[in-house]
Structure 1
Amino acid sequence: MTKKIIDLQPEVPFHTYTVAETESQLKTTAVEGLTSEEAEARLHLHGTNELKGDGGVKWQKILWRQIANPLVIVLLIANILSFATKQFPEGGVILFIIIMNATIGFYQDFSAEQTMEALRNMSSPTAQVIRNETRIVIPNNQVVPGDVMIFEDGDVIGADCRLFEVFNLETDEALLTGESLPAQKNLDLIKSVEQSLGDRLNMVFASTTVVKGRAKGIVTGTGMNTQIGKIATTLMNVDTNELTPLQKRLNKMAYCIMVAAIVLVIVVFAVHKFRYSNEIAIYAISVAISMIPQGLVAIVTLTMAFGVSRMARAKAIVRRLSSLESLGAVTNICSDKTGTLTQSKMVAVRMWFPGDGYYRISGTGFVPEGEIFRQGESINNEPHQDEKVTLSTGSDQLLRIIQASALCNMAELRRTNHPEAHGEWTAIGDPTEIALQVLAHKAGMPKPELVENGFELIAEFPFDSSVKRMSVLYRTSDEYLIFTKGATERILGCCSHYREGDTELPLNSEKNNSIQGDFTSVIMDKVDALAEQGLRVLSLSYRKFRPTPGVDLVHGLKRDEVESDLVFLGLVGIYDPPRAESLPAVMKCYEAGIRVHMLTGDHPSTAAAIAKEVAIIPADTDVKNSSMVMSADKFDALSDEEVDRLVELPRVVARCSPNTKVKMIAALHRRNLFAAMTGDGVNDSPSLKAANVGIAMGQSGSDVAKQAADIVLTDDNFATIVEAIAEGRRMFFNIQKFVQHLMSGNIATILVLVVALAIKDEQGDSVFPLSAAAILFMNLCYSSPPAIGLGLEPASETNMKKPPRTSKQGLFSFEVLMDMFVYGIAMAVLSFVPFVLVLFVLEDGQLGKKCNVGYNDLCDTVFRARATCYATLTFLILSHAINCRDIRNSGWQWSRLKTVYHNKTLWLSIVIGAMILFPVIYVPGVNKNVFKHMGISYEWGLVFAALAIYTAFVEMYKFVKRRTMA
């Protein structure tokens, strides 16, 4: 299934413009802003600062779409025919099925398309702007390009802006870029036009949030011309109404059934030389009805509904029933990284100290359980290199770096005491600081313990994006200590020495204890080595402080004075660990023939490292030279033709924008692949819509992503997707099973009815082997209930060990069609032969007259033959449900029969169906007046003989198939 995607209009690259160039382009000034008159004129020109919608789908169109469904039309025909033959109960049931399906479909369609409303609700209601050289507050929808906007801590940014004044500004752009950490903004000019959104640090974007600081910017885009507006445009131009493969095949089947039913009616009248009578008309209608699987739509709906229930228990909410079937055909999964494959919990995993080398920290998440191991100069996890260390056995340098991690830190780590939380650990604060606080707990020196032991906070210099450092001053009983953490290049600029063991050495000495030359380059080499492992690297430093007498340590200290002459302690590598379930889930995908792609806003090195850990790419992949890992700017720069010439689409695409993800989905579609997309942010919603199956995260996902998706995972777990795919496959093959059961039963009934047209009574009328009531009752009670049971069959052991089905392996593959006719013909022959034997061999051959209308003394033989045919066909159809449990293997295998408790519905439907047969044959009045047959005796021998022959035939047929078909 493909979906229509249109290209977005190219945007003006304001991130490459200087402030002066931006002012000139937008005819405004950063100091004065716009005048009220100019703003009013631009409002008329550009429109209001709102996301536009198309008004939604009209309810009349939705309702018409439900009624115009070919299968519903077939049911309507069956309903009309049922009432025409005065089979009012059957007509009522079919009418109920039509109304039920239309209601479910209407509700699904009407409630699904809420994406634009969710996007509109994300906009800030007011905005601070400068107009007429005055700072004023206006409704956000009145903001126009050229306005000067002012942002403060906690604001939701109302439009895209080019920054010209920044003070410690950080914005949460996860909904656009997918990055879990806030973006630190600056005014640096960016030269690359194709720079990804996450790296446009001199810009802010509509609907993102100010986490820290304040700023001013010139509005460059409003409404649909913002980055989030481009997402909305993409969503509006994705065709979500295209039918799934299953829906297409069922519709084709419906058309074929309609044509076949019309042909059969003509055949019946042609045999009777187009002579009209009530009996002939009723028989023609009965033959047509026998061609129509009245319960098909209802059974498909029920099967999907049960699938939805099963997925809900597996923590996946299905928003569109058809998506379950689509999941079974998925060939490629395009997954976000943060929070989907990973835990979205930063954790410290590596340290490096001058002289001591690398350290490894075990444990994951917020749980402060783990140990520290010294690894020498290798960062490989080779067991013989590991040496467990503690604060008591480690160097004084380890003690200092743990103190710095705990004290230069505002995060809090707590253990929940609430009974329902089961003592789980929770954290409050910046993800990076949480990781350091957990490290301190693992080392046995948490911040609360240090404070209790005499460490008193005197002054704090919070993290500032302009210097990328944080510093604290603590007092102990006998000394003052300064601890500083931050980006390595900014920390080294404040350091004059580094610590090696218990010795402090100059950073730029000619000769040191362990290194010769400038030690700064050595440190940066270690930073690069850790970064190549996908780690975010922080540097820690400290120094002893001697306060100047009379200086106010709380308010009198200057930052430059505190952050100077520091001693470099070491490096800490932090990363977002994969979920424990991610690796097994990815491996199951490969076992099932499904490729996994990671599309993330993170840097290539981080993305590649996680991809290796979860087996998306091989562990020995050379990231710099491999085509499996590509940055978004390179991928986006490729034309469609160049992408199509790639031997394989990249497994990892880093620094993705919304358009990158949509482009990947389009590339997969051009290769005739069936794509699923997972995501959580607003930036993921276009690709969620464009994918064959969109899967959103329920916990961390935005409302927009959830409403754009087909399936929502309540546990945000990638492993749940594998369960969903397995359920999709199970459901598809179960639909294939019960469609085969229904259609082969219908074929058998039709053949019996048509062949019997050759048997004439004394008046020259055909002797009907089954009455109209018997045909309708058979479809309702003997075909549909076992079909429902087949829809609930558990998955086979090989369900997720086979590649995704291809177009040749669809619902009506050659083998399925062959089985339908082989089984149908076999059941027809074995049902018609007993009818003929009773009629001409075992009885007197008296065919009577008007036996199609009702019972008379001359119709005894005909009525007994009908009962025999009816009983035989009923038992064959019921036993055929067991055969349909497996397309190749025997349904009577002990391994399958002993699992009766796994599918009680199937077995109950067979048992109850067999029990219902006897009242139908033997209850006086019902048998002769309604079903036009009568009780039988010795004929049961023919019935059970036919059943035994059919079972043997099926086993032989499947044996031949296993030996001859691939």
Structure 2
Amino acid sequence: MTKKVVNVEPDVPFHTFTVAQTETHLNVSVVEGLTSEDAAARLLAHGTNELKGSGGIKWYKVLWRQIANPLVIVLLIANILAFATGQFPEGGVILFIIIMNATIGFYQDFSAEQTMEALRNMSSPTSQVIRDESRIVIPNSQVVPGDIMIFEDGDVIGADCRLFEVFNLETDEALLTGESLPVQKNLDVIKKVDETLGDRLNMVFSSTTVVKGRAKGIATGTGMQTQIGKIATTLMNVDTNELTPLQKRLNKMAYFIFFAAVILVIVVFGVHGFRYSNEIAIYAISVAISMIPQGLVAIVTLTMAFGVSRMAKAKAIVRRLSSLESLGAVTNICSDKTGTLTQSKMVAVRMWFPSDGFYRVTGTGFIPEGEIFCQGEAIDGELHAPEEQVVAATGSDQFLRAIQAASLCNMAELRRNHHPETHGEWAAIGDPTEIALQVLAYKAGLGKPGLIEAGFELIAEFPFDSSVKRMSVLYRCPTTNNGPSEHLIFTKGATERIIGHCNYYRENDVEVCVKDEKGDDRAAFEAMITQKVDALAEEGLRVLSLSYRKYHPVSGVDLVHGLDRAEVESDLVFLGLVGIYDPPRAESLPAVQKCYEAGIRVHMLTGDHPSTAAAIAKEVAIIPMDTNVKNSSMVMSAETFDSMSDEDIDKLEELPRVVARCSPNTKVKMIAALHRRNLFVAMTGDGVNDSPSLKAANVGIAMGQSGSDVAKQAADIVLTDDNFATIVMAIGEGRRMFANIQKFVQHLMSGNIATILVLVVALAVKDKQGDSVFPLSAASILFMNLCYSSPPAIGLGLEPASETNMKEPPRTSKQGLFSFEVLLDMFVYGFVMAAFTFGSFMIVLFGFEDAQLGYKCNATYSDICDGVYRARATCYATLTLLILSHGITCRSIRDPCWTWKSLKTVKHNKTLWLSIVLGALVLIPVIYVPGLNRNVFKHLGISYEWGIVFAALVLWIAFVEMYKLIKRKTMS
């Protein structure tokens, strides 16, 4: 009989259900599994076990985003008007600029891979299930709610499941929770409905990995109803189309330019009494076009493309052009710990024994190379006493037993790879904590293979169980002097789960009972141990306890299967403590320090324990070394942070710099809190759990080597070397690029303002018929913008970073692209250039040519237009050289640019230098080539007028240096 199809609600707390309740709810038997008919019906009802995307990128939507840009729209309108009035050369050039910009933007956007595609590919391709009472393998996409799933060591779990059978099961959930250690699973019912994912120990989750052991579970969620599916939903709901500050400012500028251009057209026609003629219409269009920085969009895009190339060489791949300039505004970096600031390798670095005091262990990673030093008892709470090197041969009996416990009560393996290509590199297999203990044993000369070879024989094992947080083994020891064989029990685990089972401790190689002649001294014993645990924990170490006891076999008891765990793990002898930590990357500390020099605050958001996170944060300078973790607001648990309302968080004087035990929502909540404070946030991460926050941040930065595909696709920038220091370089590049954009925008707009003022003011100069005498032709206006304004602007976009680039605070909204100083400079430079240019035009026209204004000199040449044409050439040459020289001026907003020391540095920017030199050379054919000068540009060759041109240039340079000097004296 076919079972009914169940309706699985998305938020059913299956971790609070018993196995029987789960069976009933999902209408399945853990023994029989589903029938083929059940599975087919449920597949139809719930859909395939796949993550649904947002449909992928549509090429026409990407293309539309390139065209639907306000500045591009303004250019399109100007382009249409140019073609409509017969200005085909001008129209063709503008159209070329539009097509080039759209092509570059389209390629960048369309080539970016989709986040949801990576999420789809993370699921395992096949799963083992029980159907029709048989164990079969099916495509993972065919798993349905209620399927009985089977997991083994190394499997990628294909669906969220409620476990009903486990054997030494540990899973790696770092991608979901950020926890660096494998999670030991059990079958206990959890009563807390809103328990965090990391503590739902009776559940396993889709896309996590089985580290060791095996298990069976009932599928409770598939597809988008899994925990990873909820992350995918969050990603789809995050607005990824928010404009960057630069894009917003350029759009506002485009709107202003559009309305200003319309007004200028009206002004031109108004001066002529709204009388229409081809010459007036062409001039009106020319004035409107002169208002538009035709090359701005293309130069911004090309500058970003050059920035992308520079970043790629420095191991940072930019997936979105707009994110590069955003880096320059970053005020806060929210970083994951594991694999980002740390090496993601557990290392034993401290030990403590009651008789010997503290030990220090050197070496890193799982390479068994290092030394062990005995430091004795701590002095004033510090773990830095005089040292003495120790190995097994010279250590105390307690040291020997402790190392044996670490080595033998351990399932990890160390192997030296003898393949020629790996040159004998060490490899490790097993749990990271056990690997750290095994490496410790190797350093003491008591690695497990050596002990086994010496005669230690494993008899029984009680694997680590999260319910007791202990592991125990029974070994038969090698005999000495032909005596009877000895049996030893070694136990390791969490200190709070070990000391309660210890009735003795070793002191001076003597077993001391915790009960003395004065009575029960257990409280004092436990207080002593707790004090030492706290001392190690303050160093950010994960502390384990080691213990042992001699076991005397009872006649008739099967030592392999007949032992009782409770009896074995009783009456133990406490040996000592081992402190383990995940070391930070060598480059993390200087990188964080550089961030603070640049006015950028770093926050650590991690799934690790608060004490561990705080210690790493101290080591890499995220928080001061003297921070009292217990009483400092700089360190906070995610439970505390998540329980706070937005209002409470906003009342905090400073947001915490370390948040431990983070969930994905915690990270997003932190970013939202930073945004409410008008801060600009970069988020780094490597796991699936980081992807929502990578999307929510202003700039998402993923790790390329250790990062998941999901994180990479959710990010704006991917670091191919996983080097936190690369982030600092990237921010520096973002700052350099934004400063350069500011420079060439100032250059372009100053030139446009100067051109517009000359063209508008010249409307007052009338010929004998009352028509205005145009100082520049339409062809001259467009040619000037493209050949004299745009090339130096491109050169300014390639300017190297200033010496103070990363020693200044991040820019604020008042220091944006159009800050007061930049706007002031635009208009001051524009007015002064216009004054010199118009002055040159008037001097030639009225001072040397006897005011020969001619007749219809705007349309054709005649003898009476000779003065107008020579004045027009002078005007053209003056404005051209002033705009070209302005490229040098814009290299710095305040520093002098025309001193010999400054001019020598221009050689570092060959593009700027060549654009100025070639631009000046182009003046010669434009002014002197017959036909081209008179028929196209409507001016003639000049002679004495060059004296006026160069006089204007010298006065302009003198003014620039005086103006900057005044600014340096008066502006802070």
Give the alignment's TM-score, normalised by structure 2.
Answer: 0.90
1:464 is matched with which residue? 463
> What's the CA shift string for 1:553-612, capped at 9, x where partnerless?
9x8997969988765442221101111222222222223232222111111221122122
Q: Which residue does 1:163 correspond to in 2? A: 163
- CA displacement 1:795-815 (0-9 Å, x = unmatched): 222222332222222211222
Give, in whole Å, the separation in 1 of the partners of 2:142 and 2:428. Answer: 40
Give the Cα separation in 2 of the matches to 1:703 and 1:609: 29
Task: Choose from 597, 620, 623 the match for 1:614.
Answer: 620
Give the aligned partner of residue 219 of structure 1: 219
- 1:766 maps to 2:735: no
Whether 2:160 is the aligned partner of 1:153: answer no
Mapping of residues 514-533 of structure 1, within 5 Å: 519=525, 522-533=528-539
Alpha carbons of 1:60 and 1:723: their partners in 2 closer, same or farther (altered >3 Å)? Answer: same
- Residue 904 in 1 paired to residue 907 in 2? no
Q: Kindly tell me: are residues 944 and 411 of structure 1, through their superposed partners in 2, closer, same or farther at Cα, counting changes over 3 Å?
A: farther
Match among 724, 739, 742 for residue 748 of structure 2: 742
Q: Which whole-Å deviations, capped at 9, do the CAs of 1:478-522 have from their partners, x for residues lacking one? A: 587868463144665776654334x1314535279xx99764553
Q: Distance in 2 between matches of 1:752 and 1:545?
A: 102
The DSSP-based 3-state class of the residue aligned with 2:283 is helix
8 Å contact kept, 1:371–1:388: no
Which residue does 1:293 correspond to in 2? Answer: 293
Q: Which residue of 2 aligns with 1:324?
A: 324
Q: Secondary structure at the match of 1:349?
A: strand
Q: Tell whether the 8 Å contact from 1:318 to 1:710 is kept in structure 2 after alignment.
A: yes
Q: SS of 1:213's equivalent?
A: strand
2-structure distance, mates of 1:278, 1:499: 106
Deviation of the 1:682 alpha carbon: 0.9
Q: Are 2:165 and 2:215, in contact at CA under 8 Å, matched by a contact in 1?
A: yes
In the other structure, the counterpart of 2:578 is 572
CA shift for structure 1 position 759? 1.5
The match for 1:706 among 704, 707, 712 is 712
Q: Does the C-alpha gap of structure 1 residues 780 and 517 become closer, same or farther in structure 2, counting only changes over 3 Å?
A: closer
1:279 aligns with 2:279: yes
Q: Does 1:681 align with 2:687?
A: yes
Q: Work out whether residues 835 and 868 of structure 1, in 8 Å CA contact, stay in contact via their aligned partners in 2.
A: yes
Residues in 2 aligned to 1:622 and 1:384: alpha-carbon distance in whole angstroms:
20
- Aligned equivalents of 2:149 and 2:330: distance in 1? 46
Tell me which moved more, 57-66 or 785-794: 57-66
| 1:29-55 deviation digits (Å, cap 9, x = unpaired) | 544545555555544544433322332
Conserved 8 A contact 1:713-1:720: yes
Instruction: Structure 1: state its 5+ residue gaps.
Output: 1-8
Q: Say whether residues 1:751 and 2:753 are aligned partners.
A: no
Matched, 1:499 2:500: no
Q: CA deviation at 1:750?
A: 0.9
Higher mean Cα deviation, 619-628 or 41-50?
41-50
8 A contact 1:483–1:540 mirrored in 2: no
Indicate the residue corresponding to 1:796 in structure 2.
802
1:412 counterpart = 2:414: yes
Q: Which residue of 1 aligns with 2:541?
A: 535
Q: CA deviation at 1:425?
A: 6.3
Are residues 580 and 481 of structure 1, via their aligned partners in 2, closer, same or farther at CA, if it must alter by over 3 Å? Answer: farther
Does 1:624 pair with 2:630?
A: yes
Q: Equivalents in 2 of 1:936, 1:525: separation in Å?
A: 93
- Report the Cα distance in structure 1 between the residues aligned to 2:283 and 2:233, rounded to whole angstroms: 57
Which of residues 608, 611, 618 in structure 2 aligns to 1:602? 608
Counting only pairs closer than 5 Å after superposition, residues 221-620 of structure 1 correspond to structure 2 as 221-366=221-366, 370-378=370-378, 385-391=385-391, 394-399=395-400, 401-402=402-403, 405=406, 410-412=412-414, 414=416, 427-440=428-441, 442=443, 445=445, 447=447, 450=450, 455=454, 458-459=457-458, 464-466=463-465, 468-469=470-471, 471=473, 473=475, 478=480, 484=490, 486-489=492-495, 497-501=504-508, 503-510=509-516, 519=525, 522-541=528-547, 568-620=574-626
Q: Tell me if the contact between 1:413 and 1:434 (Cα under 8 Å) persists in the aligned partners.
A: no
Secondary structure of the structure 1 residue equivalent to 2:780: helix
The CA distance in 2 between the partners of 1:834 and 1:535, in whole Å, is 77
The amino acid of 1:791's aligned partner reads G
Question: Alpha carbons of 1:395 and 1:904: their partners in 2 closer, same or farther (altered >3 Å)?
Answer: farther
Alignment partner of 1:672 is 2:678? yes
Pairing partner for 1:857 from 858, 863, 886: 863
Secondary structure at the aligned position of 2:763 is classed as: helix
Match of 2:824 in 1: 818
Cα deviation, 1:158-213, whole Å, max 9, x if unaligned, reads: 22222222111111111101122211101223233332211111111111122211
Code of the aligned partner of 1:432: T
Task: State how far apart, in whole Å, the 2-side matches of 1:953 and 1:381 are.
Answer: 67
Cα separation, 2, equivalents of 1:373 and 1:92: 78
Provide the rounded CA distance (Å) in 1 between the counterparts of 2:380 and 2:698: 41
* Residue of structure 2 in register with 1:787 after alignment: 793
Distance 1:383 1:915, change over 3 A: farther
Residue 219 of structure 1 deviates from its aligned partner by 2.7
Identity across the alignment (%): 77
| Number of equivalenced pairs | 951
Q: 1:161 to 1:953 in 2, by over 3 A?
A: same
CA offsets per residue over residues 720-767 of structure 1, 9 Å max, x none?
Answer: 112211211111111111101000101101111111112122333322
SS in 2 for 1:571: strand
Residue in structure 2 matched with residue 196 of structure 1 by the alignment: 196
- Say which is worse superposed, 488-497 or 264-273, in terms of deviation: 488-497
Instruction: Write the distance in 2 (CA, Å) between the matches of 1:396 and 1:91.
Output: 92
SS in 2 for 1:617: coil
Distance 1:949 1:657 in 2: 64
1:657 to 629, 654, 663: 663
Q: Give the drift of 1:933.
A: 2.1
* CA distance 1:853–1:837, change in 2 (3 Å): same
Paired letter, 2:506: R
> Structure 1 CA distance, aligned partners of 2:513 and 2:149?
45
Q: 1:616: Cα distance to partner?
A: 2.0
Partner of residue 641 from structure 1, selected from 627, 643, 647: 647
Q: Which amino acid aligns with 2:212?
A: K
Classify 1:896/1:363 alpha carbon distance in 2 versus 1 (closer, same or farther; 3 Å). farther
| Residue of 869, 886, 890 corresponding to 1:880 | 886
Asked if 1:694 is matched to 2:671, the reply is no
Over aligned residues, Cα RMSD in angstroms?
3.4
Structure-1-length-normalised TM-score: 0.91
**Partner in structure 1 of residue 6 of structure 2:** none
Report what 1:6 is aligned to.
Answer: none
1:507 and 1:519 in contact (8 A); partners too = no
Structure-1 separation of matches of 2:287 and 2:661: 63
Cross-structure match for 2:187: 187
Match of 1:728 in 2: 734
Q: Secondary structure at the match of 1:465?
A: strand
Q: CA deviation at 1:938?
A: 2.3
C-alpha spacing 1:152/1:371, structure 2 compared with 1 (3 Å): closer
Deviation at residue 340 of structure 1 after TM alignment: 0.7
- 1:26–1:549 distance in 2 versus 1, CA, 3 Å: closer
CA offset at residue 402 of structure 1?
4.6
Alignment-mate amino acid for residue 649 of structure 2: V
Is 2:492–2:547's contact at 8 Å kept on the other side of the alignment? no
- Tell me the CA shift for residue 945 of structure 1: 1.6
Quote the offset at 1:675 in angstroms: 1.7
User: In 2, are the aligned partners of 1:343 and 1:576 still within 8 Å (CA)?
Assistant: yes
Counterpart CA distance in 1 for 2:460 and 2:871 is 98
Alpha-carbon separation, structure 2, partners of 1:380 and 1:23: 58
Whether contact under 8 Å (2:464, 2:472) holds in the other structure is no
